[in-house]
Amino acid sequence: MPKITYIDVDGKAFETNVASGLSLMEGAINAGVPGVLAICGGSCACSTCHAYIDDAWTTVVGGPNDIEDATLDLANERKPSSRLTCQVQITDAMDGLIVHVAKND
């Protein structure tokens, strides 16, 4: 299972193993990472699971899909590395991934 490190807005790191196939959002929820709210449950409808992919990982993770790209417009402080974690499916290639949780409210 790929190891994922989530870093919350206060800089606290949450290291966890997430099964491939789950979403980056589900991994955060299961590990109790604060700030990944995901109030729509992963339907790409709310932007409250917004996070920044660590610079070293943006190529592996890739960019947002069309619906996600539009939905990210609603998120706080969007950056080039922004993703909605519900739209990122964990793969084995993401072992070691570092994700910075955005300010979601």
Partner 1 sequence: MSIVIVGAGQAGLQIAESLRRGAYEGRLVLIGDESFPPYQRPPLSKKYLADQMADERLYFRPLEQLEKQQIEFRPQTRVTALDREAREVVLASGERLPYEGLALTTGTRVRPLPVPGADHPAVCYLRGLDDARRLRERLPAAARVLVVGGGFIGLEVAATARAAGKQVTVVEALDRLMARAVAPVVSDHFASLHRARGVEFRFGVGLASITAQADGSFTASLADGSSIQADLLVAGIGVLPNQELAAAAGLECRSGIVVDEYARTSDPRIVAAGDCTWHINRRFAAAHRLESVQNAVDQGKIAAASLLGQSVPYQDLPWFWSDQYDVKLQMVGLSQDHDAALVRGETASGAFSVFYFKTGALVGVDSINRPAEHMLARKLMQTGAVVPPEAAADPAFDLKTCLPPA
Nearest to partner 1 of 43, 91 (CB atom): 43
Q: Is 73 in a helix, a strand, or coil?
A: coil
Does the footprint of partner 1 cover residue 10 (CB under 8 A)? no
User: Are the C-beta atoms of 71 and 49 separated by less than 8 Å?
Assistant: no
Touching partner 1, residues 39-58 (CB under 8 A): 39-41, 43-45
Q: Is 93 in a helix, a strand, or coil?
A: helix
β 13-17/50-53 pair status: unpaired
* Smallest distance from partner 1 to CB 47, Å: 8
Residue at token pair 């990122």: 88
Does the footprint of partner 1 cover residue 19 (CB under 8 A)? no
Q: Which residues bind partner 1 (CB under 8 A)?
A: 22, 26, 29-30, 32, 39-41, 43-45, 66-67, 69-71, 73-74
